Each structure stands twice: as structure tokens, then as C-alpha cells.
A = this chain, B = another copy of it.
Amino acid sequence: MKKFINSIDTLLDESLRGFSKAHADIIRFNPQPHFIQRIKPAQSGKVALISGGGSGHEPLHTGFVGSGMLDAACPGQIFTSPTPDQMLAAAQAVENGGGVLFIVKNYAGDVMNFEIAAEMLECPKATVLVSDDVSLPKTHSTGRRGVAGTLIVEKIVGAAAENGASLEACKALGNRVNQATASMGVALNSCTVPALGKPMFDLGDNEIEMGVGIHGEHGRETIDLISASEIVDRLATSINDELKPQEGQPALLHVNGLGATPLMELHLIYELASWFWEQRGVSICRSLIGNYTTSLDMAGCSITLSLLDEELMRLWDAPVHTAALRWGC
């Protein structure tokens, strides 16, 4: 295993210290317990938005802390849920009279730990579960996973919270965005978790993994390498079958790199996916391309489509100032 690390034990801390030093104008790192919080104080009464999850998906979630998006993020060890004491401390640090909304990717460990934290927290609180990964059936025993669509929920609800929406309204909005959002990923190669020291699963020289998650777990199926157009057709068809967009439907298309895929290829995937939906009368009026919800050094990408209306567009466009997303301010 070749990585830029000193030791597995210090990797996360050294990385978070570097991140917080580089973005000291936006965020602050609380080392004990670990959380990242926004520096610019929110206006009194604003709903505090908190997310978190295992590390290794950067910039998700720490890179989305800042005005117009998250108030705090709780990073766990790599691909490992953060603990309730992190979420509780983060909530107590950023709660500002408007209650706390936890935005949680649907993974058993994250769900359980955020639930425990919510129970311990003595203020109005609510949770939005993100479950945008259509590679698993809706009837899957633990529900669908939350993947790259999570940042869309965080951005849109973040803008609403900044505009003074209530806890109840933020929760309803988060659920609405989650319902309107579907993602699916593909891996060309697995990722290497430092503590394991070898790829999480093996793929042959001519094999790819369809419907892959973001934790190096196996996907829906292993298939032989096919062309980019065929890959996009499969991913986009699964998404389209789920969302069933109408003719003229405005949508946000997000092509996300899983860590080791060149931007050049992500742009190509975007070209093919936008063409897929344009042919079906969908109006791709917003877009985001890049490494946002990564899986360490996995080669691969995911496609996310999020159906928009005028309100969602306005909230997507609203100013945001975080390490990884920044516009309008």
C-alpha cells in the first residue's frame, strides 16, 4: 500500500488539522471530540444543520461546513460512523435557538449513532435520512444507501435554514429533496483503506463493478468493461426509472468522481448523461461535476439526478461559502 501517511493512527487528525488550517476563515476544528464547526455565527433562531459519517469521502461532509450549508460535521474514522458524543458536542456548540437538524446518510451505524445523540440532546431536533442510491431495491432490508445526493440535500436545506425556515420546514424540505434525488455509481477499481492495506474487493483487468457504494463494498453486479455510453445508459436508466421525470422537468445533474477518475472522464460522462436526459425532454438546468463524495482512491464515478422546481432552484443558487462549494458570496 502506497499512501501519503505517517501512521494509520494519526492520519485523520493530521488531515483535519491541515484542512482546518487551510480554511481557518470558514471553519474551526474541535479536536476532542472531533467535529468541524462553522466560524461565522448563524443568526439567532436559525436551525443548526449537522451531518457526519465515516471519513474517506472528502470533501463530504467537512468541506460543506460554512454559511449557507452545514453548521457542523462529525468525521468518524475512515468508513466508520462517528460516535454520539461527537454529534452531541457539535450540536451543543452550534445550536442557536432554532433546534438541530441531523442530515444522515442511511447506513446502519450512522443511523444508530445519530439516533442516540438525538435522544441525549435536550433541544428541538429532527433527522433527515438520505437514501438516494437506486442500485439497491427500495425494499432492501436496511433501505437504500445515502451517497452523492447527500450534498444536494445539505445545500438546499442549508439555504432554507439560512433564510429562516423552521425545523419542521427544513425536515420536510430535506425529505422532499431526498425523494426527488436518485444516484447510481460504478467502479473501475476498488479503494484501499489504510488499516486494511489492500483493495476492498478485486476486479479483473477487464471488469467493472456496477451499482457500487462509497465504502468499498461490492455493488449490484460485476460485469465486463463496456463503453462510457453503455455505462451511462445503464446508470441513467436506473435513475430515470426511479424518478420518472416528465417532459420539460427541470433537473440538476451531478457527476461525482469517486476519487481517482480524471476530470476529463467526468466531463465526458456528463456529456453523455446530459444527452440521455435531453433526449427524454428533461431540462438539465443546473450541474455539478467533480470529486465531492469520494471513496478514498476508488476509480469510478456516480451520476445523480435531482428534480427541481422554482423553489429548489432558488435554494440551490443561494449563496454558499464552504471549503468545497462556494458561490454568490
A: which residues have CB within 8 A of B? 2-6, 11-12, 14-19, 21-22, 55-56, 58-59, 63, 78, 188-189, 205-206, 208, 225, 227-229, 231, 259-272, 274, 287, 289, 291, 294, 296-297, 299, 301, 326-327
- State the CA gap A18–B58 with chains docked (Å): 24
The chain B residue with its CB closest to the CB of A59 is B263
- State the CA gap A249–B84 with chains docked (Å): 43
Give the residue of B2, B299, B327 whose beta carbon is less than 8 angstroms from that of A297. Answer: B299
* Besides A11-B268, A22-B270, 18 other A-B contacts (C-beta < 8 A): A2-B188, A3-B188, A3-B265, A4-B228, A5-B228, A6-B229, A11-B264, A14-B267, A15-B264, A15-B265, A15-B268, A19-B270, A21-B274, A22-B289, A56-B264, A58-B264, A261-B297, A263-B291
Q: Is the interface of A mostly helix, strand, loop or mixed?
A: mixed
Chain B residues contacting A261 (CB-CB under 8 Å) are: 4, 297
Contact (A4, B56) CB under 8 Å given A260-B260, A274-B18: no
Q: In the complex the two chains form, is B4's CB within 8 Å of A268's CB? A: yes
Q: In the complex the two chains form, is A18's CB within 8 Å of B262's CB? A: no
- State the CA gap A4–B301 with chains docked (Å): 9
Contact (A18, B268) CB under 8 Å given A263-B291, A326-B326: yes
What would 28 A/B residue contacts be, using CB atoms closer than 8 Å? A2-B189, A2-B205, A2-B208, A2-B299, A4-B231, A4-B265, A4-B266, A4-B269, A4-B301, A5-B227, A5-B228, A5-B265, A6-B228, A6-B268, A14-B271, A14-B272, A15-B265, A15-B268, A18-B271, A18-B272, A19-B267, A19-B270, A19-B289, A22-B289, A259-B262, A260-B297, A297-B299, A326-B326
Distance in angstroms from A175 CB to nearest chain B CB is 28
Chain B residues contacting A287 (CB-CB under 8 Å) are: 21-22
Q: In the complex the two chains form, is B262's CB within 8 Å of A297's CB? A: yes
